[in-house]
Amino acid sequence: MLRIAHLANYALRLLVVMLFVACRPTAEDEYRYVGREVSIAYLKSLCISMAEPITLDLSIAGRVVANDKMGELNRAIVIMDDTAGIELKVECDDIDPIIPLYSEVVVRCSGLWLGREGEKIVLGAKPSSHYVVDRVAESELGNILLEVSLPSSTPQSRRRTVAEIEPGDMSCLVRVERLRFADAPSGAQWCERDSLTGRYITTLRYAEDATGVIGVVVDKECDYRMETLPEGEVTLFAVVDRCTSERVLRITNHSII
């Protein structure tokens, strides 16, 4: 019975994706009102306090450069255009079947909120607790996602050294080459285990290139948490994120390391 329920749930999610794709506007479709489309950089500039409601009828368009495809980002997606990137908080435990990694999306932002987490600005629902924004309910995705186009290519990343990563790169996809996990002991896994329970815990690893050192946060739920850290130099494709008040990298697709 559990397997039947799981298959039914998967089929429902697949149907949602098909409906999103089927609803993409064509020349013969009626005009779909999206409000005024603005850049992500402009949208972020509207956040002048810890939490700010979006009262204007605005929308953004971009590529999904991070989600939970391999468990690397929990209940959120990161959208990036040519100007900036922003994280959208979503109350959904299995996002990739609905909003695939690298898909193109149009998000209507009217009624959503912007929140400031240090130098990181996030997008979500009206806050109801101590968080700067709440997560958008899965049932509301159809109201804010005006378009989801299945991916046809990988998005353009910003090539950076560790020293070149700056606040303007927050929530953007970057490519950092010739990194080494120099401080990790030989044979260490991506995630460490709790000494009492033996369960994997979200782990902050440190990598370095010739210009500096930066943290790489690895979620305890990611698919490769038990794999051994690579030895030698690697190239990471990651979004710039914030963890324990420091700027870090969050890998977006482990299979391309």
Per-residue pLDDT tens digits for 123-143: 999 999 889 999 999 999 999
Indicate if 140 and 162 belong to the same structural domain. Answer: no
Domain ends where: 90, 116, 149? 149
In tens, the pLDDT along 200-223 reads 999 999 999 999 999 999 999 999
252/257 Cα distance (integer angstroms): 10
Tell me whether strands 36-37 and 58-66 are parallel, antiparallel or unpaired: parallel
**93-131 burial by CB neighbour count: b if 16+ within 10 A, else e?**
eebbbbbbbbbbbbbbbeebbbbbbeebbbbbbeeeeee
Domain ends where: 149, 169, 197? 149
The per-residue pLDDT for 255 is 66
158/173 Cα distance (integer angstroms): 6
**Boundaries of domain holding 46:** 2-23+34-149
User: For residue 17, which of 94, 127, 132, 131 has the smallest C-alpha distance?
Assistant: 94
152/132 Cα distance (integer angstroms): 34
The per-residue pLDDT for 253 is 79
Indicate if 136 and 198 belong to the same structural domain. Answer: no
Indicate if 16 and 129 belong to the same structural domain. Answer: yes
Classify burial at 30, counting beta carbons within 10 Å of its beta carbon; exposed 0-12, middle 13-18, buried 19 or more. Answer: exposed
- The whole-number mean pLDDT for each consecutive block of 10 residues of the chain, a chain of 257 residues, reads 44 50 46 82 96 96 95 95 98 93 96 96 94 95 92 88 97 96 90 95 96 96 94 94 93 74
170/176 Cα distance (integer angstroms): 14
The per-residue pLDDT for 2 is 37
Domain ends where: 149, 170, 203? 149
Indicate if 52 and 139 belong to the same structural domain. Answer: yes
The per-residue pLDDT for 1 is 44
Does a structural domain hold residue 179?
A: yes
The per-residue pLDDT for 254 is 80
The per-residue pLDDT for 129 is 84
Long-range contacts, stretch 205-208, CB < 8 angstroms, 24+ apart? 205/181, 205/229, 206/181, 206/182, 207/162, 207/176, 207/179, 207/180, 207/181, 207/182, 207/234, 207/236, 207/249, 208/162, 208/179, 208/180, 208/182
Indicate if 13 and 135 belong to the same structural domain. Answer: yes
